[in-house]
Chain A
Amino acid sequence: MSALNDLLNLDLFDYTDKIIAEYIWIGGSGIDMRSKARTLRGPVTDPAKLPKWNYDGSSTDQAPGHDSEVILYPQAVFRDPFRRGSNILVMCDAYTPAGEPIPTNKRFNAAKVFSDPHVVAEEPWYGIEQEYTLLQKDVQWPIGWPVGGFPGPQGPYYCGVGADKAFGRDIVDAHYKACLYAGINISGINGEVMPGQWEFQVGPAVGISAADQVWVARYILERITEIAGVVLTFDPKPIKGDWNGAGAHTNYSTKSMREHGGLNVIKKAIEKLGLRHKHHIAAYGEGNERRLTGRHETADINTFSWGVANRGASIRVGRDTEKDGKGYFEDRRPASNMDPYVVTSMIAETTILLKP
Chain B
Amino acid sequence: MAQIMAPTIQCQMRITKNSLTASPMTAKTWSSLLLKQKKSGNTKSLSKFRVYALKSENSTINRLENLLNLDVTPYTDKIIAEYIWIGGSGIDLRSKSRTISRPVEHPSELPKWNYDGSSTGQAPGEDSEVILYPQAIFKDPFRGGNNILVICDTYTPAGEPIPTNKRARAAEIFSNQKVINEVPWYGIEQEYTLMQTNVRWPLGWPVGGYPGPQGPYYCGVGADKSFGRDISDAHYKACLYAGINISGTNGEVMPGQWEYQVGPSVGIEAGDHIWCSRYLLERITEQIGVVLTLDPKPIEGDWNGAGCHTNYSTKSMREEGGFEVIKKAILNLSLRHKEHISAYGEGNERRLTGKHETASINTFSWGVANRGCSIRVGRDTEKQGKGYLEDRRPASNMDPYIVTSLLAETTLLWEPTLEAEALAAQKLSLKV
Contacts and interface: CB of A to CB of B under 8 A. Distances in A.
16 contacts: A9-B66, A79-B75, A158-B116, A159-B96, A162-B285, A165-B286, A176-B97, A177-B68, A177-B70, A177-B80, A189-B97, A190-B96, A228-B64, A309-B126, A310-B126, A323-B157
Contact of B63 (A79, A82, A158, A164): A82
B72 interface: yes
Interface in A127-173: 146, 155-156, 158-166, 169-171, 173
A5 B61 contact: yes
A193 B67 CA distance: 26
A309 B127 contact: yes
B64 A155 contact: no
Contact of B286 (A162, A224, A307): A162
Given A173-B142, A187-B98, A178 B119 contact: no
Interface in A117-131: none
Nearest to B56: A1
A227 B128 contact: no
B68 A174 contact: yes
B66 A163 contact: no
Contacts of B288: 163
B309 interface: no
A162 B97 contact: no
Contacts of B3: none
Interface string A1-30: 100110011000000000000000000000
A228 B68 CA distance: 12
Given A1-B61, A174-B67, A163 B286 contact: yes
A190 B98 CA distance: 9
Interface string B284-298: 011111111000000
Interface string B267-301: 00000000000010011011111111000000000
A177 B72 contact: yes
A278 B96 CA distance: 34
A164 B118 contact: no
A189 to B, nearest CB: 5
Contacts of A335: none
Interface stretch (B87-95, B246-254, B353-361): B87-95
B60 interface: yes
B76 interface: yes
B153 to A, nearest CB: 15
Contacts of B403: none
- Of the candidates B96, B98, B283, the one having the most CB atoms from chain A within 10 angstroms of its own CB is B96
A197 to B, nearest CB: 12
B57 A229 contact: yes
Interface in B83-133: 87, 92-99, 114-116, 118-121, 125-129
B64 A159 contact: no
A159 B120 contact: yes
Interface stretch (A54-62, A311-319, A346-354): A311-319
Given A187-B99, A188-B98, A188-B99, A181 B64 contact: no
B59 interface: yes
Contact of B157 (A81, A173, A180, A309): A309
Nearest to A319: B157
B158 to A, nearest CB: 9
A77 interface: no
Given A163-B289, A311-B126, 18 more contacts: A158-B94, A159-B119, A161-B94, A161-B283, A162-B282, A162-B286, A162-B292, A170-B68, A178-B67, A180-B72, A180-B76, A190-B95, A224-B64, A227-B63, A309-B129, A311-B118, A312-B126, A320-B157
B118 A159 contact: no
B125 A311 contact: yes
**Of listed B78, B127, B197, B286, residue having the most chain A CB within 10 A:** B286
A8 B64 CA distance: 13
A174 B72 CA distance: 12
A180 B67 CA distance: 11
Nearest to A191: B96
Contacts of B78: 180
A79 B70 CA distance: 14
Given A163-B291, A177-B67, A178-B70, A193 B61 contact: no
A186 interface: yes
